[in-house]
Structure 1
Amino acid sequence: MLITLYSILLATWAVVSAAATTCDRTCLEGVMDTFLKALTAHNTSLLLTTSDVLYVENNQVLTLGTGEWLVASSPGKYRHVFADPQQGQVGAITTIVENGVRTIYVARLKVDADGRVSEIETQITRDPAGAALYESMTVPEAVWLQPVAPADRVPRETLIAQANRYYSGMERNDPHGDYSFFDKDCNRIEDALQTTNQKTGAAYGHSNDTVFASLGCAAQFQTGFLGFVTQIRSRRFPVVDEERQAVLAMTTLDHNGTVRFLPDPFDVNNGSAAQPIPPYFDVPRSLQAAEAFRLKGDKLFRIEMTLTEVPYRMKSPFLPVEHLRYLGSNSTNSTAASFSQPCDRASLRNVTDRVLDTLLHHKSPSSLPIADGAIYTENGQVLDWGNGLWETLQEIGADRAYFSDPDTNTAGFWGATREQTTPGVLALRIQLDSHGRIRAIDVYDVRAEVTGARGGTMTLMRPPLPVEWQGAPLGKLDSVFTADNNHTEDLPDSLVDAYFDGLQRHTSAGVPLSKNCLRRDNGQFLANSSCADQMKGLGVNPNGLYNTTSAVRDRRVLVRDHKLGVVLAVAMVDNDAVPRSALNVTSTQLPPTQRVPSTYMVPQLIKVVDGQIVRVESMIKWMPYGYWPF
């Protein structure tokens, strides 16, 4: 009896003790304040973390202390904090200065009972105009910060369910849906700009429509105007602020590029039934969104949203790997069990043409012989078979280069493309198994990014590239890449590694470059520069891509064509936006191309003759800093 009573007392003490050490609102807000001070002081030691803390920027898992920790300063005046003591979660929408430029910054922290941070999730929206609007607001609208009497609160399950209805209503946006979850006086801001019930006559988003933003929340959804959002996935509601009846949600909005017209309920096209979708949506895109909801009763009353672009179908590091639709031999046509054997150069080219034909004519992938468990990737992300380029490719140019490695059953391709109105360059690898079935298709598609009306086709919230391609004809691929070397060229790992090492070290020393080697990036030659010149040290050739980068990593050889002497490869080139001493500049004097932590995904062709690199052709795509493909 005494032992039982002691056990009960001990258990009671443990519960009371745990409750006493729970991080309440004041504690959580204090941890957020400490985090922002530590970030802008570039000092991780100021923040108490668990040994296995997970740090994420714009969906990229990074080492704590890297990325924004190296460039952030000056926390802004605007700070909107959400606290969830029950789950130990705190979030904030605020601003910071990034190498002299103010930007919108969203942070979410998971905090244990001892005040240690185990998760740091951040979203950086590089919109200086939006950040300036936030700073002019100084504080959130008062209703966000007002506690709600316990008797008037709805439970957290209802808060989450109503926020989720918002996403379900936006996804493919049925104009006849039930939008009764909006309060009649609902308002929304996006990057601090009011986008409902405003009478300025400004166009909304990438469109030319000037009526949409004048409507209320429910009326906007009843137009079906947002139907270009084809899926809203990775929906998470990590911070539920029951005291203030608010939710901070994190989601990914996919636009698969198949919606070609928007409803025209406002007759902005003078009687046309629909208006063409803006060129930005020509190609598949994903937007990572942080969105806050304030409820009034059980209705959405206020919405505060900010977003940034991530690679299409980028997965959340905070969720299990999402289900993918794999195709295999059990689901393919029995009449197409395998490609012809053996895998010689001619048959590998045939494989490539069949795959290209399937993509170009939007045929079912099941018409191809695909091995069990085979994967399809685009720009480093695993996609469902039939998604992405399968749905948007319209044209493949006549200027094509084919590459083959019969020893490894690998085929490669490089050629110009067009998706709707957007040109691109496609680098492709097809890997076959020993039975001639497709084991993997890897696509790297670098699209032209055009500055134009309503944002053109530019990736959202990215800095300018050192070498931009705005869609002008690239010119024919140099015939040297398709010319036979008349002998089998040795293409060892040591040669490829030496080349990438030279890019990383900013020196051509030890790199087997011919004296007349030329490099073209995004269709442009750097005037009066050889390959060796472009690898030179800091401060030389300031328009070059690699002079101030910090790492060349995740190097992948896709195809080695020994007969043509060509390596098709891809690498991730990091720019940490930290000025090097040799540049003799401060961070605020960095050119815009170098001011933001960035990763460049660079598919490239490397031509080798007699052991020396004679030509390099590369395309450059901006990615969030630290991007690590599948």
Structure 2
Amino acid sequence: MTTWLRNVIAAVASVAVLVIAQPQSGGCDRSCLESLMSEYLTAIAAHDPKRLPTAPGVKYVENQQIVPLGEGEWLVASSPGKYRHVFADPEANEVGAITTLKENGVGTIYIARLKINDDRKITEIETQITRDPIGAARYENMTQPEAVWLEAVPLAQRISRDRLITQSNKYYTGMERNDPKGNYSFFDKDCNRLEDGLNTTNQRTGDPYGHSNDTAFASLGCEAQFQTGFLGFVTKIRDRRFLVDEERQVVLSMTILDHNSTVRELPSVNGTSSPIPAYFDVPRTLQATEGFRLKGDKLFRIEMTLTENPYGMRSAFVGSPLPPVSSQDTSNSIFMGDPCDRICLSKVLDQVLQAMLVHNASTLPLAQGVRYSENGQFIDVGDGLWLSLRSFSKPGVDEYAAQFADPTSGTAGYWGLTKEHTTPGVLALRIRVDSGKITEIEANAVRAESSGSRFGTMTLMRPPLPVEWESDPLGPLDPVFLQNGTGATATSIPSTIMTSYFDGLEQHSSTDTPFTTSCLRRDNGVQGNLTCAAQMAGHGVSPNGLYNLTSTVRDRRVLVTDAEKGVVMVVAMIDNTATGPGSLPVTASVPSTYLIPQLIKVDNGAISRVEGMVKWMPYGYSSAWTEEKGF
């Protein structure tokens, strides 16, 4: 062999080695996708996102909350479980998994979806954490999915990608308001469904289904269940997305289910209809992930799990628009002159509450572009509380109610008891009036969380709060909130007081917060024997248990400053990372965010009373007002 030929062969060989050694770009096949999912689960259990091949600006989401990669579940996850059901979509460069994961030692059902770019870098990480240790244990006992999920289907027996999505989507179209006369022939006659690892079709156990007392529903097949109309309490299914595994004829879907509280009766399954469970007294939004295995063009197997999000929560990935701003600009102004004084603001506030009570906003002087929010989510005027409210307490009539006004900014606030169907709540409501029109309505509603029959009214998949409010009477509102203020703060309340208050909450220090020596505080109706300063500093055992375990206090907002009464109505989000020295109490063992509407009484420049409510939110939850207006 000539020297020249040897050199050519050597050069070709070296090029071949270089080609093999270089990272491959372009599509990621099943093996590649499954390997990336395995890497992801190993990395989160090791609390090390640097192990992942992520693209710049990778988007990380937990239960629809955008969280910095490395926070949230990354700080508390460990021990991926045995059960792992992987869905690969090479055409879309996506991979999903239904698996289990331990969170501070407690089992959860864990959903992950990864989106990959052409350089095989992860651009999106979407996760759903269903905190159901019993369901996680069921999955662990299964150890692996039913074999039919993992079988490659012969080409001749496959339907197209579009057809797979169309047939799977019929499941949601049929469930939404669940018409018992609908066509449900898209189910295979041998269809079965798992919910959190529990078979909920074709079962003769006599166990009740979900929150209901119905014992017959789970004995029916998939098609027969839909033919009952039983699932009609699901009033809307939106933000539907689909990952398609064509080789296995499998679809993994991510959707959001709304229950707006208007459906008040379950249809007959046992033989008689029954009232809707108390859980659906108030508007609910559930985030659901479901796997569908098709046989031909019929749904043959269904595997689902869900968790609860604040009502109206939008998908972090669909890019679903905010509810359209109202185009209504009514001329039926109920007050004269601008600005609106205290009496005027009180009248407008009363009218808003009455309109909510009769479920009709058309009589209100709404400005074009009016915004309405509920617990930090923008939703349509007329949705949420407008559908469920049945009564509210009135200042001067009921003992736990007060109104506040700031004519300078055109804002008014209400704090009082509500009832939504049979469920009590506390409402902190803010309205803003400008040029004779209502431009903003903000409702922060903390509902009683009872653990009664069929799971009561408890928010699904959340840890207990240090202090739960299970509809126990709150008693009268401290009368100091109804009295005029004293001293210099009777004419103005410096914003520095609220800044130092929130800073103190975040730093667990009362050093720079002006409290009176006799300041008292209640949270969810519970008042301990510690002063406000001692609670904030974490001395002893504080009644709400939040101060010495939380981190960031953000989305800090003053809703109304009533200088005449010396009262500030505020709201903020407080994060608990579920990390810390030693073992954590069960109330602090899950990454959480607390929504805290509060009344702050200020006398002579110092805080003398705090009345607060505490509502659990998914970790990282933010107020839409903060996002849109930069408060």
In the superposition, the TM-score normalised over structure 1's length comes to 0.93
Distance 1:133 1:405, change over 3 A: same
Structure 1 match to 2:532: 531
Partner deviation per Cα, 1:454-478 (whole Å, 9 max, x = no partner):
1100000000001110001111110
Q: Is 2:258 aligned against 1:254?
A: yes
Q: Find 2:199's aligned residue among 194, 202, 205.
A: 194
Structure 2 counterparts to residues 129-278 of structure 1, below 5 A: 129-237=134-242, 239-267=243-271, 272=272, 274-278=273-277
Partner deviation per Cα, 1:215-255 (whole Å, 9 max, x = no partner):
00000000000000000011111x10000001110000000
1:159 aligns to what SS in structure 2? Answer: helix
Q: CA RMSD in A?
A: 1.6
Structure 2 counterparts to residues 546-561 of structure 1, below 5 A: 546-561=547-562
* Deviation of 1:540 (Å): 5.0
2:362 aligns to what SS in structure 1? Answer: helix
* Deviation of 1:590 (Å): 1.1
Partner deviation per Cα, 1:548-584 (whole Å, 9 max, x = no partner):
101111101000001001110000011000014xxxx
**Conservation of the 8 A alpha-carbon contact between 2:449 and 2:459:** yes
Structure 2 match to 1:14: none
Q: Find 2:340's aligned residue among 319, 343, 351.
A: 343
1:367 aligns to what SS in structure 2? Answer: coil
Distance 1:323 1:598, change over 3 A: closer
Q: Is 2:105 aligned against 1:100?
A: yes
Structure 1 match to 2:469: 469
Structure 2 spans left out of the alignment, 5+ residues? 1-21, 625-631
Structure 2 counterparts to residues 4-403 of structure 1, below 5 A: 21-237=26-242, 239-267=243-271, 272=272, 274-322=273-321, 324-330=323-329, 332=330, 334-336=331-333, 341-363=338-360, 365-397=361-393, 398=398, 399-403=400-404
Distance 1:392 1:163, change over 3 A: same
Structure 1 match to 2:417: 416
- In the alignment of these two chains, the number of paired residues is 597
* Deviation of 1:371 (Å): 0.9
* Deviation of 1:317 (Å): 1.2
* Deviation of 1:327 (Å): 2.2
**Conservation of the 8 A alpha-carbon contact between 2:322 and 2:378:** no
Distance 1:362 1:340, change over 3 A: farther
How many angstroms apart in 1 are the aligned matches of 2:595 and 2:88?
A: 37
* Deviation of 1:538 (Å): 7.6
1:577 aligns to what SS in structure 2? Answer: coil
* Deviation of 1:370 (Å): 0.9
How many angstroms apart in 2 are the aligned matches of 1:542 and 1:138?
A: 42
* Deviation of 1:320 (Å): 2.2
Distance 1:76 1:168, change over 3 A: same
* Deviation of 1:338 (Å): 6.1
- Between the aligned residues of both structures, percent identity stands at 60
**Conservation of the 8 A alpha-carbon contact between 1:467 and 1:545:** no
**Conservation of the 8 A alpha-carbon contact between 1:570 and 1:602:** yes
* Deviation of 1:181 (Å): 0.4
Q: Find 1:591's aligned residue among 562, 567, 585.
A: 585
One-letter identity of the residue aligned with 2:384: G
Structure 2 counterparts to residues 567-578 of structure 1, below 5 A: 567-578=568-579
Structure 1 spans left out of the alignment, 5+ residues? 1-16
**Conservation of the 8 A alpha-carbon contact between 1:315 and 1:321:** yes
One-letter identity of the residue aligned with 2:333: A
1:227 aligns to what SS in structure 2? Answer: helix
Distance 1:540 1:415, change over 3 A: closer
How many angstroms apart in 2 are the aligned matches of 1:335 and 1:540?
A: 53
One-letter identity of the residue aligned with 2:233: F
In the superposition, the TM-score normalised over structure 2's length comes to 0.93
One-letter identity of the residue aligned with 2:455: G
1:36 aligns to what SS in structure 2? Answer: helix
* Deviation of 1:522 (Å): 0.3
**Conservation of the 8 A alpha-carbon contact between 2:322 and 2:379:** no
Distance 1:73 1:400, change over 3 A: same
* Deviation of 1:19 (Å): 9.1
Structure 2 match to 1:5: none
* Deviation of 1:400 (Å): 1.8
Q: Is 2:621 aligned against 1:621?
A: no
One-letter identity of the residue aligned with 1:241: D
Structure 1 stretches of at least 4 aligned residues deviating more than 3 Å after TM superposition: 17-21, 334-342, 537-543
One-letter identity of the residue aligned with 2:246: E
Structure 1 match to 2:14: none
How many angstroms apart in 1 are the aligned matches of 2:186 and 2:50?
A: 44
How many angstroms apart in 1 are the aligned matches of 2:429 and 2:543?
A: 31
Structure 2 match to 1:458: 458
How many angstroms apart in 1 are the aligned matches of 2:612 and 2:445?
A: 12
Identify which range, 69-78 or 503-512, moves more after superposition: 503-512
